[in-house]
Amino acid sequence: MLATLQMGAYSERLKIIIISGCPSSKLLTEGSLLHHTTGGASKDQALRVFQEFTATSIRLDSSEYAALRLDEALSQCIHKSLPVYIEIPTDIVGVVGNAATPLQISPPTLIQSEAVDEIISPLIATWNAAHRPILIIGALARFFLSTEALIAFAEKLGCAVFCQPDAKSTLPESHPQFVGTFWAIASKPECRDIVMDADLWVVVGGRWSDLHTVGGLNIKEERRRMINIQETSIRMPYGRLFQDLCLANVLGAFLRSSILPKRETLLSSQWKSREQTRVNSPVLGEALTTP
């Protein structure tokens, strides 16, 4: 059960710290037959299981380096926004460590594979070539962009903004550019029509599992009109991939660029909203049916 819960936490990028006790270091290394194990010489079964869906899976098997390894695991949990698994032998639990110090978070330095200008140029060219672009915000966006940064990006684009079903509230729904939730064939018709009629999807932090496509969206086909922006990469509609980039630098340069906002899809959404209100109006409906 715990493993299943952790798989879900890993897929949702939740910061969870699992702390588990285990037999003493002596018992683990002497090859004794222990209960709650598979009976073999190795006692690392739990560590191997949790390695599959955590940022790191460790055992504090040395009193000398226990504090250092604990700090490293906690740093990975925070920086990667993923669960970690920490196993503590019974003889390590009571060890007195060094005086507590603030946790040092040192994100790894990313090497930019392309200069910022080389990334910005095709981004701007693709945007300028579009006539009916939209912005789709996915759940992963909240892990690498603040709400303020998303709003600034959306307002720079000027187009209609949608969220995926698991990204609700990532951008305030009261924002004038927000149109609704895009959930493939489960979307409201006015949302689905605007998205499917768009010639460019700018997707920030998007995921496209069966939950998002609900069997009615061929995402492989849709990639031809998608700029896919993730934490450390951007994939263009024609397949070019920029990796190991600093997204803050790229978005900063994009916000400083001279691109013009494109409001075609936003105006279309406003028109559809008015049409829907008119059709659903009880007063109008009565007027239309009264001789």
pLDDT in tens, 88-114: 988 888 776 676 778 877 665 555 555
* pLDDT for residue 199: 96
Read off the DSSP letter of residue 154: H
- Spans of the chain, pLDDT less than 70: 1, 31-42, 96-97, 99, 106-114, 270-291
* pLDDT for residue 180: 95
* 183: nearest Cα among 138, 160, 159, 214: 214
Listed in order, the ranges of the chain carrying CATH 3.40.50.970 are: 1-30+43-89
Element (H, E) at 79: helix 66-80
* pLDDT for residue 273: 60
> Domain 1-30+43-89 class?
alpha beta
* Orientation of helix 247-256 relative to helix 116-129, angle to 10°: 50
Listed in order, the ranges of the chain carrying CATH 3.40.50.1220 are: 113-278
Neighbours of 240 (CB within 10 A): 12
* pLDDT for residue 181: 94
Cα–Cα distance, 291 to 287 (Å, whole number)? 8
Q: What is the pLDDT of residues 151-161, one digit of tens each?
A: 999 999 999 99
Fold annotation for 113-278: Rossmann fold (3.40.50)
* pLDDT for residue 189: 92
Cα–Cα distance, 148 to 209 (Å, whole number)? 27
Are 168 and 161 within 8 A, CB to CB? Answer: no
